[in-house]
Copies of this chain bind each other. A is one copy, B any other.
Amino acid sequence: MTTFKVAIAGFGGVGRATASLLLARRARYRDVYGADVRLVAVCGSRSGAVSAEGLEEANLAALADGLSGPAFIEESGADILIEAGPSDFRTGGPGLAYLQTSLSAGRDTIVISKGALVHSGRELRSLAEGSGAILKLSGAAAAALPTIDLMQHSLKGCEVLEVEGILNATTNYLLDAMTTRGIGFDEALREAQRGGFAEADPRNDTEGWDTACKLLLIANFGLGADLAMDDLAVEGIQSVTTERIETWRGQGLVPKLVGRLWRESGAIRAAVGIRTYLPDNPFANIRGKDKAIRIVTDAMGETLAIGSGKEPLATAGAALKDLEHILVAKAG
């Protein structure tokens, strides 16, 4: 029985869901991998909990002040870090310091927040290569929707020629409401905010940045590209008028905000913007909070995946899929 000590940095909804799901799966890890998986540390921005023997669900209710930060994770003796903190792609956010420390130390690392990976992806990849740490990011690259997984496992050996994805639930929900019920952007947004489907400051979603972040991670970590945010043309949905929606409806077309990757002169290009689809195209029927990706390869044609998991559980599931891939590599 090999012991794997896991720490979780970032303890909001997703971090907590990940902790609970991990604790619930300990028997599975023992049975399938002969692995004694212990949750040795968790922390939010100011408080945390630690136990070399492994935290239990009851220890997670009340965190102690001051137990936080990369040094706290370091001292916990964790072998594996799961980073689930707030995301800011313009600065790397609080996740960046955790990831730098963790990957430098050779600690296998599972990333859920996108910011640091978008901001400093090349540096983090090279830290991982240098130390031999495994770096996984399913939770950051559209979570329960398989994206990088699909390319690197199910389509292994094929050249990916083109990718198209509905990667942001908020914009999909808003366009869906505008199209099916004929309401304007502002009304749809207020409604989504009341229902908890859009943030108080929705610009990260509505202006296309969240889609762009996921697209960039898919390109850089899934296809080995080296794109920065400035390389992407990013269009959002904030200026879509009811008139445009009406025109599309008249033409029998359904608008979606999509991220696209394609090859041009040997390089991978990327853009985020609105595309319209005929009603029998699967993309036209991706409703509300669902996500979808279409991958075109040389040998295996088109593969389309649609994901509709409930958050935060689905993202926790994606991060712990990454954990099992690490267990396979290490305990296998």
Contacts and interface: CB of A to CB of B under 8 A. Distances in A.
Contact of A299 (B157, B287, B302, B317): B317
Nearest to A28: B157
Nearest to A301: B309
A16 B157 CA distance: 18
A304 B292 CA distance: 9
Interface stretch (A7-15, A185-193, A214-222, A278-286): A278-286
Contacts of A261: none
A154 B146 contact: yes
9 contacts: A21-B299, A146-B303, A149-B154, A154-B154, A157-B324, A279-B279, A280-B285, A282-B285, A301-B309
A300 interface: yes
B300 A309 contact: yes
Nearest to A317: B299
B282 A321 contact: no
A244 to B, nearest CB: 22
Closest 8 CB pairs of A and B: A301-B309, A299-B317, A146-B154, A300-B317, A304-B306, A144-B300, A149-B154, A300-B309
Given A150-B154, A282-B306, A303-B307, 17 more contacts: A21-B299, A144-B300, A144-B301, A146-B154, A146-B303, A153-B325, A156-B321, A157-B320, A280-B287, A299-B313, A300-B314, A301-B307, A301-B308, A302-B307, A302-B309, A303-B308, A303-B309
Interface string A108-147: 0000000000000000000000000000000000001110
A313 B157 CA distance: 13
Contacts of A324: 156-157
A304 B285 CA distance: 13
Q: How many copies does the complex hold?
A: 2
A153 B149 contact: yes
A176 B21 CA distance: 42
A183 interface: no
Interface of A: 21, 25, 28, 144-146, 149-150, 153-158, 279-282, 285, 287, 297, 299-310, 313-314, 316-318, 320-321, 323-325
A218 to B, nearest CB: 14
A158 B317 contact: yes
Contacts of A281: 285
Contacts of A280: 285, 287
Among A21, A156, A308: residue with most chain B CB under 10 A: A156
A154 to B, nearest CB: 4
Nearest to A143: B300
Nearest to A21: B299
Contacts of A155: 146, 317, 321
Nearest to A318: B300
A156 B305 CA distance: 16
A2 to B, nearest CB: 18
Nearest to A306: B304
